[in-house]
Chains A and B, each alone.
Chain A
Amino acid sequence: MDTVIHTNKLTKRFGNFIAANEITFDVYRGEIFGFLGANGAGKTTAMRMLCGLSKPSSGTATIAGFDIYKQTEEIKKNIGYMSQKFSLYEDLTVLENIRFFGGIYGLSDKQLKEKSAQLLGTLGMVSEAKKMVSSLPLGWKQKLSFSVAILHEPKIVFLDEPTGGVDPVTRRQFWDLIYEAADSGITVFVTTHYMDEAEYCNRISMMVDGEIKALDTPAKLKQEYAVTSMDEVFYELARGAKRRE
């Protein structure tokens, strides 16, 4: 199996505060990898390092085969990202956003045309193509954001709490999109604190107080802790946590 993310003792310090402490794990191609943890546990810090947004204090890592210190530009070309604070341009139309981000990632005009039509069809937004993003309901914005993040067919897509604030039906639809992406070979690295979503992942890791305290498939974890839901696994692990928001 291809390793798309490999980290070894990745650490991030802010002064005396160790936000992420010697994170070591691998993620394989086509996986849906859930990155869980309580607020303040260090998830976002870790993910920002993997995306090339933040320089690690120590440790090594390769993303899509590229070194996290020396090859951040290459990493960026091969990943997609959907931030927590929604990041499409509200004052541009749906189509304009698609074209912009696609163009930035190097898609040719022809590709842009094809892919935008495809994307709009899949999302059922053909009639919304020329509408301002600000006028869309939240669920649609998020689906659009995800689709734009994978428009250039990156090796890995990083999703930071992508389903915050939407109803269960929309959430389900969103995860359908994630499955599709994974099926087509895109590795999905998603952070969330909806424990039911943890069930949808191939493997998950749990961060507590800046460290990875568990890393396995949901089934095995439930077995290990002798519980029936991921909620309870989380509870078991996070109970002793010192850092809480």
Chain B
Amino acid sequence: MRTLKFLLQKEFKQIFRNRALLPLLFVVPIMQLLILPLAADYEVKNINITIVDHDHSSYSHKLISKITASGYFKLANYGIGFNEAFDDIEKDRADLILEIPQGFERNLIREDGVAGQTDGEQLYVAVNAINGVKANLGSAYLNRIIADYNVDVRMEWAQMPRFNLFPTIEIASSNWFNPTMNYRFYMVPGILALLVTMIGAYMCALNIVKEKEVGTIEQINVTPIKKHQFILGKLLPFWFIGIVVFTVGLFGVGWLVYGIIPLGNLFLLYTYLGVYLIAVLGLGLLISTYTETQQQAMSIAFFFMMVFILMSGLFTPIDGMPKWAYVITQFSPVTYFIEVMRMIVLKGSEFVNIKIHFLIMMGFAVLLNGWAIYNYKKTN
């Protein structure tokens, strides 16, 4: 135990004396937590639309006002021909084109009319589909506005007796856990999880490899310091730092800046965080046992981090992934932590809901650290 005390003293001193490292450990993650959620907004707004109106009728005008009033779209251009409109898409001035054919109003309010059915003309939408999310949502929003408009038109003419015979299903939607649909609520816990992970794995791996590179590790190997003591000595300081950064991030930034109040049990959250950090630090340790230089450690750590981050469910949903990809996500500790973060912070999940997540994370912690300890041989 005493040995451990001495080891920890040395480690902390070295970390806090490292002028270049310190700000990067504390300041940068916080700054990123401030900026990232602002930037990482997948909510699609301000979609640029160019409308080509061949009809120029009061109905086409009403439709156009509805679109511009919706708040989703910005009218990029109007009153031009289709070719010019296409130029807008090429130059990225517009994301969508809506083309209203001539005769739109006439066809729509004919008594048996389905607008466009007779002449083969209908509303025509062209979408720049390079960004799939934008394309999907953009066309979905536009379709919804058009459908709403359609309902308005019907209501106007609804005195016709025929109309009542048609059964309508009313859909009542409610949004739980994030009624304001604030995208930041979704991103901040996830990003915080990522930042803490990066600090844990990277810094820990680099720290040990640095000793290897410089040569002080040989001196340690000759002393009576046991494997597990050395490893604990490397792991614990970053464990503490991880928890501190997490706390500052969650309360300092999450709460004060974004107004996110964790719904669930904080003690539960921190316990999970503790186990998670052990697992992630174990990964860093493991990497350090396979590398000799800081450059190598960095490359390998970065590689794993990239994969974990991309597959974490933070940016793209896990549900839609093919089986093999899904398996990969299940092997990444990051996936579980982000899930748990969101569950506890946003939904108020309790222990019983995350039992399995706990078990799996403990499994990771044991596996990774065990492997690292096994690898780290003083005698070879």
- Answer yes or no: A and B touching, Cβ < 8 Å: yes
Q: A54-B380, A92-B10 are in contact. Are A104 and B224 (CB under 8 A)?
A: yes
Q: List which A10-60 residues lie within 8 A (CB) of chain B.
A: 51-55
**Taking the complex as formed, is A77 at the interface, i.e. its CB lies under 8 A from any CB of chain B?**
yes
Stretch at the interface among A79-87, A121-129, A168-176, A216-224: A79-87
**Is the pair A53, B225 in contact by a Cβ cutoff of 8 Å?**
no
The residue in A54, A87, A96, A106 that gathers the most chain B C-beta atoms within 10 A of its C-beta is A87
A73 contacts which chain B residues (CB < 8 A)?
A: 224, 226
Q: Mark B182-224, 1 if CB is under 8 A from A, else 0.
A: 0000000000000000000000000000000011101101111
The residue from B216, B222, B380 contacting A55, defined by CB atoms under 8 A apart: B380
CA distance A13 to B13 in the complex (A): 40
Q: Are B6 and A52 in contact (CB under 8 A)?
A: no
Chain B residues closer than 8 Å to A85, beta-carbon distance: 214-215, 218
Query: How long is the Cα–Cα vector from A51 to B3 in the complex, in angstroms?
Result: 20
A104:B3 contact, CB within 8 angstroms? yes
- Whole-angstrom distance between the alpha carbons of A87 and B213 in the complex? 12
Known: A87-B216, A91-B17. A51 touches B222 (CB 8 A): yes
Q: Determine whether the beta carbon of A92 is less than 8 Å from that of B14.
A: yes
Are A103 and B2 in contact, CB atoms less than 8 angstroms apart?
yes
Q: B13, B215, B225: which contacts A83 (Cβ < 8 A)?
A: B215
Q: Is the CB of B222 within 8 A of A81?
A: yes
Please determine whether B10 and A100 come into contact, CB atoms closer than 8 angstroms.
yes
Contact with A along B12-32 (1 / 0, CB 8 A): 011001100000000000000
A66 within 8 A of B: no
Chain A CB count within 10 A is highest, among B2, B224, B226, B380, for: B224
Task: Report Cα–Cα, A230/B7, bound state, in Å.
Answer: 43
Asked whether B144 is an interface residue with its Cβ less than 8 Å from the other chain, the reply is no
Q: Specify the chain A residue showing the minimal Cβ separation from B223.
A: A104
State whether B216 touches A96 (Cβ < 8 A): no
Contact B218 A83 (CB under 8 A): yes
Q: Which residues of A contact B (CB under 8 A)?
A: 51-55, 72-73, 76-77, 79, 81, 83, 85-89, 91-92, 96, 99-101, 103-106
| Beyond known contacts A55-B380, A100-B6, A103-B2: 7 more, CB 8 A cutoff | A53-B378, A55-B379, A88-B219, A89-B216, A96-B13, A104-B224, A106-B224
Whole-angstrom distance from the CB of B356 to the nearest CB of chain A?
40
Q: How far is the CA of A195 from the CA of B254 in the complex (A)?
A: 68
Residues of chain B at interface, number, CB under 8 A: 25
How many whole Å from B81's CB to the nearest CB in chain A? 70
When distances are taken between beta carbons in the complex, the residues of chain A under 8 Å from B5 are 103
* B247 contacts A by Cβ under 8 Å: no
Select one of A54, A77, A88 contacting B224, CB under 8 A: A77
Closest residue to A96 on the B side, CB-wise? Answer: B13
Q: Is B9 an interface residue (CB 8 A)?
A: yes
| Chain A residues, Cβ within 8 Å of B224 | 73, 76-77, 104-106
Cβ A89 vs Cβ B14 within 8 A: yes
Contact partner of B215 (CB less than 8 A), chosen from A52, A86, A101, is A86
The 7 closest A-B pairs by CB, nearest first: A87-B219, A85-B215, A103-B6, A81-B222, A77-B224, A76-B224, A104-B223
Residues on B with beta carbons closer than 8 Å to the beta carbon of A88: 216, 219
Chain A contacts for B215, CB-based, 8 A: 83, 85-87
Q: Which residues of A contact B221 (CB under 8 A)?
A: 53
Complex interface: chain B residues within 8 A of A72 (CB): 378-379
**A170 to B18 CA separation, bound complex (whole angstroms):** 31
Instruction: Report B207 CB to chain A, min CB distance, Å.
Output: 12
A83 B379 Cβ-Cβ under 8 A: no
Q: Are A91 and B219 in contact (CB under 8 A)?
A: no
Give the docked Cα–Cα distance between A100 and B221 (Å).
14
Mask, B270-307, CB within 8 Å of A = 1, is 00000000000000000000000000000000000000
Taking CB atoms, residues of chain B closer than 8 Å to A51 are 222
A89 to B11 CA separation, bound complex (whole angstroms): 11
Q: How far is the CA of A85 from the CA of B214 in the complex (A)?
A: 8
Question: Closest A-chain residue to B221, C-beta based?
Answer: A53
Q: Which chain B positions have C-beta within 8 A of A91?
A: 13-14, 17-18
- Whether A103 contacts B14 by the Cβ 8 Å rule is no
The answer to whether A100 and B380 touch across the interface, beta carbons within 8 angstroms, is no
Query: Which residues of the partner chain B approach A89 to less than 8 Å between Cβ atoms?
Result: 10, 14, 216
Q: How far is the CA of A91 from the CA of B378 in the complex (A)?
A: 24
* Minimum distance in angstroms from B144 CB to a CB of chain A: 61
A55 to B216, CA, bound (A): 20
CA distance A55 to B379 in the complex (A): 6
A-B contact pairs, 11 of them (CB 8 A): A53-B221, A53-B380, A76-B222, A76-B223, A85-B214, A86-B215, A89-B14, A92-B13, A96-B13, A100-B10, A106-B224
Closest chain A residue, CB of each to CB of B15: A91
Give the shortest distance, in Å, between A74 (CB) and chain B (any CB).
Answer: 9
Q: How far is B226's CA from A87's CA once the two chains are assembled, in angstroms?
A: 18
Distance between A136 CB and nearest chain B CB, rounded to angstroms: 16
Report B293 CB to chain A, min CB distance, Å.
15
Question: With A76-B222, A81-B219 in contact, is A104–B6 under 8 Å at CB?
Answer: yes
Is B225 in contact with A104, judged by CB distance below 8 angstroms? yes
Cβ–Cβ < 8 Å partners of B7 in chain A: 104
CA distance A145 to B366 in the complex (A): 37
In the complex, are the beta carbons of B379 and A53 less than 8 A apart? yes
The answer to whether A52 and B222 touch (CB under 8 A), given A86-B215, A87-B215, A103-B2, is: yes
